[in-house]
Amino acid sequence: MKKVFVADVQERDWVESPFLVRDKIMAMAKNGKPYMTLKLMDRTGEIEGRVWDRVDEFATRFDKDDFVLARGKASVYLGKMQLVVQELEKLGDEQVDLGDFLPVSGRDGAEMEAELSAKVSSLGDPHLRALLEAFFGDDEFRRRYCTAPAAKSMHHVYLGGLLEHSLAVADLVEDICRRYPGLNRDLLLVGALLHDVGKVDELCYERSFDYTDEGKLIGHIVMGVEMVDEKVRAIPGFPSRTAVLLKHLLLSHHGQYEFGSPKRPKTLEAVILNFLDDLDSKINGVRTHMEREPDSTSGWTAYHRLYDRYFFKDVSSGGPQAGTEAPSVEPAPVCVPQPKAQPREERPKAEVARDAQRGERRPRSLSFTLGDQLRGKSLDLFADNEKE
C-alpha cells in the first residue's frame, strides 16, 4: 500500500495510510459520548488522530505500538494538523516497511561514525582512549549507541539522536577548551561522549520510543556509571582518580537535584559539561518545536509547556509575519458596557424566614450591579461600620 507521510499531509486531504500508534487515549466528551485521541507517527513526524464515532468498536482492534491503516480527513485545528479518523484496522509487521515509521537523524550516519572514531583517536590519555575503545570496539554496543535516540520526547527524539547529541557536545568541548586553557580536554571529551551512555539501555527504540523497565527503575545516569565502572575495572592500571572524576561528570551532568542529578557539579569540567549538555539539548528541543507547525501562518509557535512560553519564529525561515503578536496564556479582560440594572425580584417573606432558620444563603443573582451591592451601605470611609 502507498504510504502517505505525516510531513506531506495537507489540510482537507483524504488520508488512507499506515501509521504507528505512539499513544492511545480514551476519554469522555462533555455530552457523555466516548472519543479516542491517537498519536499517529512515521519517520517524518507525528499527527494527532481523533476518533469520534464507533469508538468502542475501534478500541478493541489495536493497542499502543501497533501498526494501523487509518482513513480520515485532515484538518488544521489550533495551528496543528489533525486527522479525523473514519476507519481503522490493525496491520501486521509484514504489511509495512519498518523504515517508514521511526524518525531518523538528518545527519548522515556513516559521517557521524567517522567523526566518533576520529575523536577517540585524538585522545592523548592512553587510559581514557582504551576506555572508549572498549566501548566502541564492541560491534553490538556501537550499533546500539549509533541507533538510539537521545530521549523519549525532550530532544533529539529520532534514531541516531544519541550519537548526534553526544558529538555536538564533544564539538562544544573542543571550542571551550580552545577558549579556556588549562582544562582537562581528554576528560571532558570522554565525558561528552559517555554522559548519556546509559540511554542505550534506558530506552527501547525498536518500534517506538519508550523506557525499558530498567530505565524506569534505575535511570540512565546510574546505569551509565555502572557501565563505565565495569569497563574501567577491566583496563589494567586505570587511575582511580581519573575514574572518580569521570564518574562525577556522569553523575552531575544534569546539574541540579530537581533535574534528576545525583550530584551537583563540583569540578570545573563538570560545570562545563552540564552547561554544554543543556545548551545543545535546548537548542534541538526549541528547533523541533518550531518545525512542528509548518502549516501555521502565525509568527509565533504554539505554547511550549516545558519551557512555559511561546517562541518567535526565525524571520529567515519565513516564520513571523509583520505585526503578529504572541498569544497570551490568559486573554486580557475586555471592558463591555454593563446592562441597566433590573429591579430585584422580591422573595416571599415566608421563604426568607425558612432559609434563615436553616442557615442557608441564597446565591447572589448574577445580574446584580455594583449599585445593587452598595445599596444600603454607608459610603462614609470614616464611619463606624462594625455594627453592620
Binned at pLDDT 50, 70 and 90, residue 333 comes out as very low
* Nearest CA-CA partner of 159 in 207, 204, 104: 104
pLDDT at 43: 84
Residue 262 has pLDDT above 60, yes or no: yes
Give the pLDDT confidence score for residue 358 in this predicted structure.
Answer: 46
The dihedrals phi and psi of 381, each to the nearest 5 degrees, come to -65, -20
Q: Which residues contact 60 (CB under 8 A, 6 or more apart)?
A: none
User: Pairing mode, if any, of strands 67-77 and 80-91?
Assistant: antiparallel
Lowest model confidence (mean pLDDT) among 115-119, 179-183, 238-242, 347-351:
347-351
Please list the alpha-helical segments (H only) found in 16-97: 55-59
* pLDDT confidence band for 362 (50 / 70 / 90): very low
Smallest CA-to-CA distance from 268 within 209, 351, 183, 211 is with: 183
Q: Where does the pLDDT of residue 111 fall: very low under 50, low under 70, confident under 90, or very high at 90 and above?
A: very high
Does 214 have pLDDT greater than 60? Answer: yes
For the segment 352-362, the average pLDDT, to the nearest whole number, is 47
* Alpha carbon distance 167, 243 (integer Å): 21
Confidence of residue 376 (pLDDT cuts 50, 70, 90): low
376: left (phi over 0), alpha (psi -120 to 50) or beta: left
Q: How far is CA 370 from CA 61, 341, 374, in A?
A: 58, 9, 6
Amino acid (one-letter) located at 231: K
| pLDDT tens column, 279-326 | 999 999 998 888 877 767 788 988 888 888 999 986 555 444 444 555
Average pLDDT over residues 18-43: 91
Count how many residues are written for the chain: 388
Number of H helices, E strands in the chain: 13, 7
CA distance 223 to 242: 19
> Amino acid identity of 152?
K
pLDDT band of residue 93 (cuts 50, 70, 90) is confident
3-state secondary structure of 101: coil
pLDDT band at 352 (very low <50, low <70, confident <90, very high): very low
pTM of the model as a whole: 0.67
Best CA proximity match to 122, nearest among 196, 160, 173: 173
Cβ atoms of residues 155 and 285 within 8 Å: yes
Q: Pick the range with the lowest mean pLDDT from 59-63, 157-161, 247-251, 341-345.
A: 341-345
In angstroms, the CA 244 to CA 232 distance is 10
pLDDT at position 253 is 96
Residues 6 or more apart from 101 whose CB is under 8 A from it?
19, 20, 41, 42, 43, 67, 207
Please, what is the average pLDDT of the chain?
84
Label residue 254 by pLDDT band (50, 70, 90). Answer: very high
Mean pLDDT of 134-150: 95
pLDDT for the residue numbered 372: 55
CA distances (Å), origin 110, targets 117, 214, 308, 351: 11, 30, 37, 84
Nearest 5°: phi and psi at 11?
-55, 135
The closest alpha carbon to 69, from 90, 43, 44, 93, belongs to: 90
